[in-house]
C-alpha cells in the first residue's frame, strides 16, 4: 500500500499541476467519446493502452469484460452502459478482452469455480462463446489450448449482447454509434480488432487503415 500512497502524493505534486486546466474543466462535467468495456484484471490499464487523458474514456470493468444482455438482472453494468450511451452520448463502444484472462479460464472449466459461486454465475454470460468454440471444433469440452480463441469469441458475443440494449440499438440504427471488439496482448502490447466484414480479428493497424 505504501507505493499507492506515494503515487497519490506524486500525482498531487507533479501530475496534477501539469494537467490542471483539464481537471478544472472536468470538474464541471464530462463528455467522453468512448465507452470502454474491459476486464477488471489488474494488468489492464485502459488509459495507458490508449494514451488518453481523464475525461476521454467512460470505463466499465468487470471479470471477463462481460456485457449482460438486455433483460438480465445485472443492473449495475447495464445501468452504466445505458448512462454512457443515452446520457453521455458516447459515439463509440469498445469491448476489450485480453490475453491470459482468468475469467476465460473459468469459462473453459466452470466446474473449477464451485468455490466461487458468484463468479461462476457471472460467467454464464460467456456461455455462448464457450458453446460456439466447442461447435466450431466438434468438441464436448475445451482446454487451455482454446484460451485465445474463446477470448476472441467472448468479445464477439459481448458485442452481440450490446446490440440487444435499446439505447445502443437506437443509436446504431441512427448511425450515431460504432461498436469495436478488441483483444489486447499483455506480453507484446499488440491489439487485435474484430472485423465485421471478414468475421476475423485483424491487427489494429490493418483494421483501422
**Which pLDDT does position 72 carry in this prediction?**
82
What pLDDT, on a 0 to 100 scale, did the predictor assign at position 179?
98
**For residue range 131-150, what is the model confidence (pLDDT) as tens digits?**
999 999 998 889 999 999 99
User: Who contacts 154 (Cβ-Cβ below 8 Å, separation ≥6)?
Assistant: 64, 65, 97, 104, 107, 126, 129
- The confidence band for 209, taking pLDDT boundaries of 50, 70 and 90, is confident
Establish if 125 belongs to a structural domain: yes
Given this model, what pLDDT does residue 18 score?
94
Q: pLDDT exceeding 90 applies to what percent of the chain?
A: 95
Residue 83: band (very low, low, confident or very high) from pLDDT cuts 50, 70, 90: very high
Structural domain includes residue 10: no
Q: How many domains does the chain have?
A: 1
Tell me what the mean pLDDT of segment 100-127 comes to: 95
Domain that holds residue 88: 34-40+75-186
In sequence order, what are the residues at sequence separation of 6 or more whose Cβ sits closer than 8 angstroms to the Cβ of residue 37?
59, 60, 61, 65, 67, 81, 93, 94, 95, 96, 158
pLDDT of residue 137: 92
pLDDT in tens, 32-81: 999 999 999 999 999 999 999 999 999 999 999 999 999 887 778 999 99
Q: What is the pLDDT of residue 13?
A: 96
**Is position 191 within any domain?**
no
**Cβ-contact 40, 106 below 8 angstroms:** no
Write the pLDDT tens digit of every residue in 163-191: 999 999 999 999 999 999 999 999 999 99
Q: Tell me if 173 is assigned to some domain.
A: yes
51 occurs within a structural domain? no
Q: Tell whether 55 is covered by a domain.
A: no
Residue 109 reports pLDDT greater than 90: yes
- Percent of all residues in the chain with a pLDDT value above 70, rounded to a whole number: 100
- Whether 69 is covered by a domain: the verdict is no
The CATH number covering residue 132 comes to: 3.40.1050.10
56 domain residue, yes or no: no
**What's the confidence (pLDDT) of residue 183?**
98
The DSSP code for 38 is E
Amino acid at each position: 500500500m505504501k507505493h499507492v500512497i506515494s503515487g497519490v502524493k506524486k500525482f498531487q505534486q507533479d501530475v496534477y499541476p501539469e494537467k490542471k486546466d483539464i481537471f478544472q474543466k472536468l470538474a464541471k462535467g464530462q463528455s467522453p467519446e468512448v465507452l470502454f468495456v474491459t476486464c477488471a484484471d489488474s494488468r489492464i490499464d485502459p488509459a495507458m493502452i490508449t494514451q488518453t487523458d481523464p475525461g476521454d474514456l467512460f470505463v466499465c470493468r468487470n471479470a471477463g469484460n462481460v456485457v449482460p444482455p438486455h433483460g438480465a438482472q445485472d443492473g449495475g453494468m447495464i445501468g452504466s452502459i445505458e448512462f454512457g450511451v443515452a446520457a453521455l452520448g458516447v459515439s463509440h463502444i469498445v469491448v476489450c478482452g485480453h490475453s491470459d484472462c482468468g475469467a476465460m479460464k473459468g469459462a473453459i472449466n466452470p466446474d473449477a469455480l464451485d468455490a466461487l459461486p458468484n463468479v461462476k454465475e457471472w460467467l454464464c454470460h460467456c456461455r455462448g462463446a464457450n458453446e460456439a468454440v466447442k461447435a466450431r471444433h466438434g468438441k464436448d469440452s475445451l482446454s487451455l489450448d482454446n484460451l485465445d480463441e474463446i477470448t476472441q469469441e467472448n468479445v464477439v458475443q459481448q458485442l452481440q449482447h450490446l446490440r440487444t440494449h435499446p439505447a445502443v440499438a437506437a443509436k446504431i440504427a441512427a448511425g450515431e454509434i460504432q461498436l469495436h471488439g478488441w483483444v489486447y496482448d499483455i506480453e507484446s502490447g499488440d491489439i487485435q480488432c474484430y472485423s465485421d466484414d471478414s468475421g476475423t480479428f485483424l491487427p489494429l493497424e490493418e483494421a483501422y487503415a
